[in-house]
Structure 1
Amino acid sequence: MNCLGRFLALSCFVVTLVSGRATQLVRRAVPNLPFDPNTISTCTDWWDNEGFLPCVDLITAWNIDISDFRRWNPSITADCGNFQVGMSYCIGAPAGPSPVSPTAPQQPSTSLRPSETSSSPPSTTTSPGNGIATPQPTQPGMVDNCNKFYFVKPGDTCQVVVSNAGISLEQFYAWNPSVGNTCSGLWADVNVCVGLIGQQGTPTTPSNGIKTPLPTQPGLVNNCYKFYLVKPGEICIDITAKTGVSLSQLNQWNPSIGNGCSGLWADVHICIGVFDKVPTHQPYGCFSEVSTRALSYAGLTGQTGMTVEFCAVYCMAEKGRQLFGVQFGGECWCGDSLTVGSVKVADGDCNMPCTGNAEQRCGGSERLHVYGRGGAAPLAYKYHGCYTEGTNTRALGIARLESASLTVAQCAQYCLAQTGTNHFAVEFGRECWCGNNLGTGAVSVPEAECNMPCAGNSGQTCGGSNRLNLYSKQLERPPMKFRYEGCFTELSTGGRALGGAVLADDGMTVEKCAKFCIDKGFSRFGVQFARECFCGAQRAAGSVAAPEGDCNMSCSGNSGQKCGGTSRLNVFLWP
């Protein structure tokens, strides 16, 4: 139904029945209410929806086909849904290429070209003055210096086109101006321009290292690193509830959505997180994973656009952590220290390409590429089990720290990094001990005997009463698990209590004597006179137990250990 002289009048009307009563329906030349910015730009007649007439009744009264109504109003769904009170809608437009959008609020797609009044366009190409063969037919108004073309299929969207061509939306709109800046004028079954002479496409992974998934909402900010794929039927408040961002942030980062959310597209990615810059970071190498996660503060898995830069922003900028690791191609993990048992491995073990940048490596199976803010590499240490204190000496006696907030990591930092020892142990919930060798009599015991929680982390165990959880640097061998037999006398007449091999060394330790004798094939050994080591299978008759106080000389290579005395030996048995 047409209004005669509608271009000269402000409005015209028809009369229809609403709820059994005759009602005058007014169509206007200009909208009086807000309207969807994606509404067809050539609209000539408008309906102000004040809520008294349903969508189906409206198009029936004005004799409008639903396909035309949806072409003019991209936010309307196939069942005439999303017809919002307080909005103006187009109910008339000139004949011509008025593309239809899919189910609202989806991104506008193509419609078929309008039928030709003469013969069908040629399917051959033409050769303009620039020498580039132009395939026919083409989108109207295409620039004349195009050298690369894309044939638009029914249902294609502008984002589909730019994704296939590797160009930006801004470039596409500039080279095909009749498409419009919201893709409302894109035709199907025509060729569009996707490249100019001398023009380079825009990469999907920009220089900041954050890969942008396609397609995207038009006008997305360029410092985005977190994205959300909008599902058909979702509105802005649904997205804020799911992602935790505010409406103001959503509009700031995606300005084309509009304050009323009327410009939100479906099946495109929108921005839900931005960053100022990629934090400075340095690589520390490839590390092994552990069952409780090498970096356990936070993590992301299954990311299709993972890059080292993305993980740096997520862990350092958003989560405020000191370390991050990329793993299995598409995973990102954050923390401040490595979990016990995660150790450095060969860099070649981290061999999986990042899902967002195949030129980068993102760990591997049970392997992480670890990065940090700079400085010394993260401490990697191994756990050896629960041990007893020494006999009349400390198991580890070089340095000690007591803290009401003790954790295993704190003790590791104090002993390995600050004190420079090879081993450390936690004891009695709040004590930290450092050393390079185990003191006399410190032996392995069942794990259950170390049962006190750490004062600073109840999820960790910090030894017990006279019991220590023992750790060492990654490259250190575990302490030897020999058993202490006691202090014994040397023979008063000729011969030795242990009559096998002998070693004298000014750097004597219990471990050095143990290795010497074990390598010689002896299972029993003893240390004497601070610097002497004796080996044997059995103690000779006449060597008897002596008071522990008689073995009172410190080992020349470890003052925290006892190495017998005058005619006295500390005797051990292996294993």
Structure 2
Amino acid sequence: MVLDDYCSNLIVDQNICVGPPGGIKEFVTIPGATVTKTATYATITASRPASVVSGTTYKCGKYYLVQPGDYCEIVAISNDISFALLRKLNPQLDEKCSNLLSGYHYCVLPYEDPSKTSSTTVQAPTSTPSGTTNTCYEWYVVQSGDSCSKIQDKYAIQFSQLKAWNPDLNDNCTNLLLGVAYCVHGPDTPAAQGAGKREPRQSPAKETASPRKRSEGAAGGVPVGWPGVDSPRYRKIMGLGPKDEI
């Protein structure tokens, strides 16, 4: 039996489950950890499986393959982490964990504290777009075939963050430039505001092009397609008589 949202379909003398298999596990936070961390860090990053959900951090020491019937609490308990940490490592998970996908891998062990922020800024390795923040802790130089979504997946960030650190990007990310450095770890931004929202349609990076030159013409010329000064149409509009033939 599946209870509805208002629990209006309870049936007398029917048993219902009120706890997970094996009982509720008590988490013990290790010294110095934040409340979202209940496990030690991995010493090396794990090989990334092909079936990893979009947005999952690359700084991961262990991946878990979701099985049919799994839900977030089971995944978290089985891997000694909290649900909050599971969401931080896999930010595409919603608050109710209603979008956990069977047959896909999720990160269940961080390589480093996901809440850690750097205090040392890094100089950009090459040119940057106009307006890009100088307070940046990690840069990425765009390669051929890149798109904003690929960069977001690689660094487990939201488009709202990428755009906040690189405001020159337009809303559809159609002006990503090859060979240019973009900040991928900058000052804290409200990334959660963009969580669960549809990301904009994005295009691959483009070559940096030289400004298009304006066509040169004689001063006082008229746009292409306008009637010539000697045309019958023009002379009629201007109230001029027919042009005398030579």
**Higher normalized contact order (CA 8 Å, seq sep 6+, divided by chain length):** 2
- Larger C-alpha radius of gyration, 1 or 2? 1
Fold conserved between structures, TM > 0.5:
no
TM range (shorter): 0.3 to 0.5
